[in-house]
């Protein structure tokens, strides 16, 4: 699975093959997260920092622009519905 990438990481970094494989798997798992999962997780993280919802949803809206596979643009209302149903 992704042998070329793992080989590249072992050649270009100090990682051994097992470490490189774990890094690749972690990155793939991160980007495998659905938009809804990302919004919920990010909301919890920002809420734990003490931010208020108005700030949280603006930050999530900005964060979504930089996901590897850009999701459809979501309104603040749609973001709230993902979190609260």
pLDDT of residue 32: 83
Coil/strand/helix, residue 55 = helix
pLDDT of residue 71: 67
pLDDT of residue 70: 61
Query: For 26-73, how does the pLDDT look when each residue is reduced to its tens digit (9 = 90+)?
Result: 988 888 888 899 999 999 999 999 999 999 999 999 998 888 766 678
Residues 6+ apart with CB under 8 A from 15: 9, 23
């Amino acid at each position: 699975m992704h042998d070329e990438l793992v080989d590249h990481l072992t050649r270009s970094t100090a990682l051994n093959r097992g470490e490189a494989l774990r890094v690749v798997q972690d990155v793939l798992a991160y980007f495998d997260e659905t938009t809804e999962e990302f919004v919920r997780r990010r909301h919890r993280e920002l809420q734990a920092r003490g931010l208020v919802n108005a700030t949280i949803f603006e930050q999530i809206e900005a964060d979504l622009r930089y996901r590897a596979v850009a999701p459809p643009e979501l309104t603040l209302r749609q973001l709230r519905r993902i979190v609260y149903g």
